[in-house]
């Protein structure tokens, strides 16, 4: 299943494969977690971290599949990245790991203008490759295939696209590496794309959630496993730059 960064016209339904087997998802305006998370959905050594979805592009605004196409931010996307900078100004960070695509790199540069020395490219953060769907309208594709839910897009991806299982493998490898790089008292920030954001959320919580361009999300441990919260829920006492 897949949660595409370009598709923002659908409802914000939370989907959890675990709930079908008796799990229970909790969702508030600022938090998402899965109470049935278990060892398969946890990384024991991993500490809390931040993920910023890149700012908007013209292709996002037009509702097109974007994938590996290297489209820059539009002006709205640049404003979103600068807004993220203001939200994170008090956050102590040790690394900013970024997708190699231009829209993510520009988001990171605008979000951390005084910390460019901490920005490094991370290939595992690159967006899912949608193959020959790139550049095509998402709504039209869904209508053509008779699907109504965004996770169903995984079932109609062309043979030249990246499989969702491959995205999850990248996410798990990234989280394992993150656990070895983290430092006490400072956070690692990831800047990338929604498919990877949802892959990380699936890996840690078992759930997906509706995300917004340029928005920072905080992954942290909770009594039932992991949860994703908005930036207003950051543990500033643990990661304060002041």
In the chain, where are the structural domains located?
17-233
User: How would you classify the pairing of strands 93-98 and 225-230?
Assistant: unpaired
Q: In what order do the strands lie in the sheet with 216-222?
A: 25-27, 31-34, 225-230, 216-222, 49-53, 187-192, 93-98, 119-121
What is the rounded average pLDDT of the residues 113-137?
A: 96
Q: Which residues of 99-137 are buried (b: 16+ CB within 10 A; e: fewer)?
A: bebebbbbbbbbbbeebeebbeebebbbbbbbeebbeee
**More confident position, 157 or 113:** 113
Lowest-pLDDT range of 66-70, 107-111, 155-159, 173-177? 155-159
Question: Out of 3.30.460.10, 3.40.50.1240, 3.40.630.30, 3.40.50.2300, which CATH number does the structure's domain 17-233 have?
Answer: 3.40.50.1240
122 as an active site residue: the answer is no
Q: Summarize pLDDT for 42-96 with one digit per residue, the tens.
A: 356 899 999 999 999 999 999 999 999 999 999 999 999 999 999 999 899 999 9
Lowest-pLDDT range of 13-27, 89-103, 111-125, 225-239? 13-27
Share of the chain above pLDDT 90, in %: 64
Mean residue pLDDT of the chain comes to: 82
Q: Summarize pLDDT for 129-157 with one digit per residue, the tens.
A: 999 999 999 999 999 999 887 777 778 88
Predicted pLDDT at 232: 72
Predicted pLDDT at 235: 61
- Among the listed residues 5, 6, 127, 202, the single catalytic one is 127
- Among the listed residues 5, 6, 8, 54, the single catalytic one is 54
54 as an active site residue: the answer is yes
Residue 8 has pLDDT above 70, yes or no: no
Measured in residues, the chain has a length of: 242
Under a CB-based contact definition with an 8 Å cutoff, are residues 170 and 142 in contact? no
Predicted pLDDT at 148: 85
């Amino acid at each position: 299943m897949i949660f595409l960064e370009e598709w923002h016209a659908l409802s914000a339904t939370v989907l959890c494969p675990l709930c079908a087997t008796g799990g229970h998802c909790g969702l508030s305006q600022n938090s998402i977690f899965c109470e049935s998370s278990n060892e398969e959905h946890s990384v024991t050594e991993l500490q809390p971290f931040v993920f910023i979805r890149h700012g908007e592009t013209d292709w996002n605004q037009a509702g097109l599949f974007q994938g590996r196409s290297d489209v820059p931010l539009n002006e709205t996307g640049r404003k979103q990245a600068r807004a993220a900078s203001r939200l994170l100004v008090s956050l102590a960070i040790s690394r900013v790991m970024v997708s190699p695509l231009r829209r993510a790199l520009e988001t990171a540069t605008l979000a951390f203008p005084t910390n460019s020395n901490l920005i490094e490219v991370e290939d595992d953060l690159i967006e899912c490759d949608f193959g020959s769907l790139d550049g095509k309208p998402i709504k039209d594709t869904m209508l053509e295939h008779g699907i109504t839910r965004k996770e169903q897009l995984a079932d109609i991806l062309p043979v030249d696209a990246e499989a969702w299982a491959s995205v999850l493998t990248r996410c798990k490898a990234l989280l394992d590496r993150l656990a070895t790089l983290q430092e006490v008292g400072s956070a690692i920030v990831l800047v990338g794309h929604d498919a990877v954001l949802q892959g990380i959320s699936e890996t840690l919580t078992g759930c997906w959630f509706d995300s917004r361009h340029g928005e920072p999300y905080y992954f942290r441990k909770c009594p039932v496993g992991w949860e994703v919260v908005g930036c207003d829920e950051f543990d500033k006492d643990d990661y304060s730059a002041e």
